[in-house]
Chains A and B, each alone.
Chain A
Amino acid sequence: MTFLVDLLAATLRNATPLVYGTVGETYAERSGVLNLGIEGTMYAGAFAGFATAWVTGSPLLGLAAAIGVGLGAGAIMALLTVTLGANQHVSGIGLTIGLIGASEFTNRLIFQGGELQRIEPMPIVNPFDGLAGLGEVGAIFDQYALTWIAFLVVVPVAWYVLQRSSFGLEIRAVGENPEAADAAGVNVARTRYLALMIGGALMAIGGAFITLALLGSFTLDIIAGRGWVCVALVIFGRWRIGRGVIGALIFSLIFSLQFRLRILPGFGELPFELLLALPYLVVIAALAISGRNVAYPGAYLKPYRRS
């Protein structure tokens, strides 16, 4: 029982950065732009959040800094791919290299490569704390505020805006058929800029969650491919927010499970890194099975210019 409660709590916790990242990438791709800058944006969000919180002592200011960095990263991606029509693959990789480099550069400037600095992690809140009848199970709901916000605010609001608001309609339209959207009077470039910037802010929050809440510190290679996982989850979720979140939970469950398997006899013999690789392999396998002939957004990878 403790094992299961512990596992489920860890699943929600570890899924949190993936949920932010997947929702953010979904916004970008639904507008027609593949944002491979996600890995770097999460990294920069993680660093900017941590550094700001460390300097000011305020995790909230750290979060605000991460959001600012994310908006900026989205805007740069938009400038390259929307305004200039540059290749989206190369632009995204360049953004990731540049943002990781800039974060590590600044990290070096501020912390001089000295010993690991720590901040007080954001507190854990449990709205059901002390609720009679939950007993041991209540520990599942010991979560960070950013986790609660991810599942209870960001996911439903992002879904509502995308599916039920006219702004979301415009995002989906420019991602499917920019010619038709343009003919109907939608400003294609403006819509894609906004989608990329909102998406970038969400990715950066996902990164900041790791430093501000999960770890309370910043280490090199802190994102470790989580951004790439989000890109895969978007395809796995077929560009639907709900399915993407389910994918994030499944990935996180496997990720959290392998951590706990290590202490079991029999598994202890295996180097833990091999178990760590398991979730990535599961994602690739899931793509190989469910990603066949999926319908990409109609204008995926295509810049738009009125003829």
Chain B
Amino acid sequence: MGVGGAPAGASPGVSPGAPALALRGITKRFGDLVANDRIDFEVRAGEVHALLGENGAGKTTAMRIAYGLTHPDAGQILVRNELKAIRSPRDAIEAGVGMVTQHFALVRPMTVAENLVLGRGSTLRLDLDQARRQTEEASARLGIKVDPAARVADLSVGEQQRVEILKALSRECRILILDEPTAVLVPDEVQALFATLRLLVGEGMSVVFISHKLAEVRAISHRITVLRRGEVVGMVDGQTAERELARMMVGRPSFGVERSPDASQAAHEPILRIRDLHATGTQGLPALTDVSLDVAAGEIVGVAGVSGNGQTELVEVLSGMRRPTGGSITVGDTEVTAANPTAVMAAGVGRIPEDRHASLVGDLSVAYNLVLERLDAFRRGGRIDEPAVRAHADELIARFDIRARPDDPVVTLSGGNVQKVLLARVLSRDPRVLVVSQPTRGLDVGATEYVRSQLLAARQRGAAVLLVSEDLDELLALADRLVVLYEGRLVGQVTAAEADVEHLGMLMAGRGRAA
């Protein structure tokens, strides 16, 4: 059987327009967090159906459930109107569902052909010819061009994505789920992907397109389902205006914690100065280009943007965990470009990064984690001043409302309490500069409000706060000034007064100049 199966227009068993895959009442909780709250969703044969929403809205979770990677707490999955028990990717593949996850499931040191034949059963000889034929056929029919003999690690991410699609098609999938497929592509590649998808749906296939980029969603989708905070906001036509989509996706600010509009931050000198900053990401590609930004005392500057646009690298560089390739960072009069974590902290920078668990030592106690950054201050003679450590922990546990005992290992704490430990460790040192990333991701409402109120209190005390978040509500509620990071560059800057949700949504989606 060749790639994709049946010829265009004649998909056996499925009349065009019939629901190919349907989710009914899918609910999934992770601890306190409701990732999916009674999600209903369906995709028809021969359509591209987009799942639109901000990060953390629950799009990926819903589709991982459909592909058997995550198990739902409640709800049903129907494939071609038939109830299916999908417990593993293998069940999904057998039901004709394929998924291209955001982190590709490819074996990087192997060739394209090897990746295509992997898992087809053990034989003494590898039928790499079959894989070669499939790639040639796909190249002729769908315009997907990949060299079957190339090593996956040598391919661009766009090419790797084509291998993933090819892999799904070679398993004869009829429903293809793509998770943020354009996040890693350059514009030309996006056009090529869209051409392929149009060909596939022309043949009666179904495509689920997970994204938060408005323009792309409108360009490719027949219908759009919008998710916000785990719930379906609505299902609309593919031609719905970008402004309307942005409004549905982002919603309106609805949190109790808000910045008081009093502080006259403009009067203050900037404390954190970032000039022409350049940095490369983990894979050696440019992650930050020419970033210049000032943050003044008593000011919260929000950095908006969808994930993977350089936020992680920006925070790592400011935290002393990644070396920039160019530019400079100063705190007051101290230069901290390429400084190590100790020097960054000594300059008065407090750091609350996005991966809060990895930033603590999970197997050590709350009390020890609270003093780990400055052990020398808790030394009496040659030894740790245990009573002082204990008293410090008791005080911070009370002051920051941490629901744990001093001796509890951090790994046993809930996400909200882990974040409070990190907050307490940082804020108890009264930092001049606070670098915060995704401070409330994955937290429940109570913890979220608490963390936000603490950030505002730090601002009130005169700290310069750089707040990186993918949650626009959060930024609008807290920040005095907003900048947008897109593909490693700052593409827009607005004050809180001028901030306009729809405009920001478009900047974040790379539609800044058109708007």
Is B truly associated with A? yes
Residues of A within 8 A of B (CB): 164-167, 169-170, 172-173, 176-177, 179-186, 295, 298, 306
Residue of B nearest to A161 (CB): B124
CB < 8 Å neighbour of A166 from B89, B115, B121:
B121
Contact A172 B107 (CB under 8 A): yes
CB contacts (< 8 Å) of B109 on chain A: these are 172, 176, 295, 298
Is B513 in contact with chain A by the CB < 8 A criterion?
Answer: no
CB < 8 Å neighbour of A169 from B88, B90, B114, B167:
B114
Contact A184 B108 (CB under 8 A): no
Residue of A nearest to B109 (CB): A176
CB contacts (< 8 Å) of B117 on chain A: these are 166, 169
A11 to chain B, nearest CB (A): 32
How many A-B contacts at CB < 8 Å in the complex? Answer: 72
CB contacts (< 8 Å) of B127 on chain A: these are 166
C-beta contact mask, B251-263 vs A, less than 8 Å → 1, else 0? 0000000000000
Q: A166-B120, A170-B119, A180-B118 are in contact. List 12 more A-B contacts (CB 8 A).
A: A164-B125, A165-B124, A166-B124, A170-B118, A170-B122, A173-B107, A180-B107, A181-B119, A182-B89, A183-B89, A184-B118, A185-B120
Give Cα A247 to B107, complex, Å. 27
Is B110 in contact with chain A by the CB < 8 A criterion?
Answer: yes
Contact B105 A180 (CB under 8 A): yes
CB contacts (< 8 Å) of B106 on chain A: these are 177, 180
A80 to chain B, nearest CB (A): 22
A-side interface mostly:
helix
| Interchain residue pairs with CB less than 8 A apart (18) | A164-B125, A165-B122, A165-B124, A166-B117, A166-B118, A166-B124, A166-B127, A169-B110, A169-B118, A170-B119, A177-B107, A177-B108, A179-B105, A180-B106, A183-B105, A183-B119, A185-B119, A306-B88
Most buried by A among B89, B108, B119, B124: B119
Residue of B nearest to A178 (CB): B107
Q: Which 7 A-B pairs have the closest CB atoms?
A: A184-B119, A185-B119, A180-B105, A183-B105, A184-B118, A177-B107, A176-B107
Is B93 in contact with chain A by the CB < 8 A criterion?
Answer: yes
A186 to chain B, nearest CB (A): 5
Is B457 in contact with chain A by the CB < 8 A criterion?
Answer: no
Residue of B nearest to A182 (CB): B89
CB contacts (< 8 Å) of A181 on chain B: these are 107, 118-119
Most buried by A among B104, B122, B167: B122
Is B494 in contact with chain A by the CB < 8 A criterion?
Answer: no
Contact A186 B124 (CB under 8 A): no
Query: With A164-B125, A185-B93 in contact, do A177 and B119 touch (Cβ < 8 Å)?
Result: no
Give Cα A20 to B125, complex, Å. 23
Contact B126 A165 (CB under 8 A): yes
CB < 8 Å neighbour of B108 from A164, A167, A176, A185:
A176
CB contacts (< 8 Å) of A164 on chain B: these are 125-126
Contact A166 B123 (CB under 8 A): yes
Residue of A nearest to B128 (CB): A164
Contact B110 A165 (CB under 8 A): no
Contact A165 B118 (CB under 8 A): no
Give Cα A186 to B88, complex, Å. 12
Query: With A164-B125, A165-B126, A166-B123 in contact, do A173 and B105 touch (Cβ < 8 Å)?
Result: no
CB contacts (< 8 Å) of A295 on chain B: these are 109
C-beta contact mask, B81-116 vs A, less than 8 Å → 1, else 0? 000000011100100000000001111111000110
CB contacts (< 8 Å) of B105 on chain A: these are 177, 179-180, 183-184
CB contacts (< 8 Å) of B104 on chain A: these are 180
A282 to chain B, nearest CB (A): 29
CB contacts (< 8 Å) of B123 on chain A: these are 165-167
CB contacts (< 8 Å) of B93 on chain A: these are 185
A194 to chain B, nearest CB (A): 10
Give Cα A306 to B123, complex, Å. 25
B495 to chain A, nearest CB (A): 44
Give Cα A168 to B250, complex, Å. 49
Contact B90 A167 (CB under 8 A): no
CB contacts (< 8 Å) of B124 on chain A: these are 165-167
Contact B108 A166 (CB under 8 A): no
A30 to chain B, nearest CB (A): 11
Residue of A nearest to B101 (CB): A183
CB < 8 Å neighbour of B119 from A167, A186, A306:
A186
CB contacts (< 8 Å) of A180 on chain B: these are 104-107, 115, 118
Residue of A nearest to B113 (CB): A169
Residue of B nearest to A185 (CB): B119
Contact B126 A185 (CB under 8 A): no
Give Cα A186 to B93, complex, Å. 13
Query: With A165-B123, A166-B123 in contact, do A186 and B110 touch (Cβ < 8 Å)?
Result: no
B134 to chain A, nearest CB (A): 15
Residue of A nearest to B124 (CB): A165
Give Cα A184 to B110, complex, Å. 14
CB contacts (< 8 Å) of A186 on chain B: these are 118-119
Query: With A177-B105, A180-B106 in contact, do A167 and B122 touch (Cβ < 8 Å)?
Result: yes
CB contacts (< 8 Å) of A166 on chain B: these are 117-118, 120-127
A256 to chain B, nearest CB (A): 35
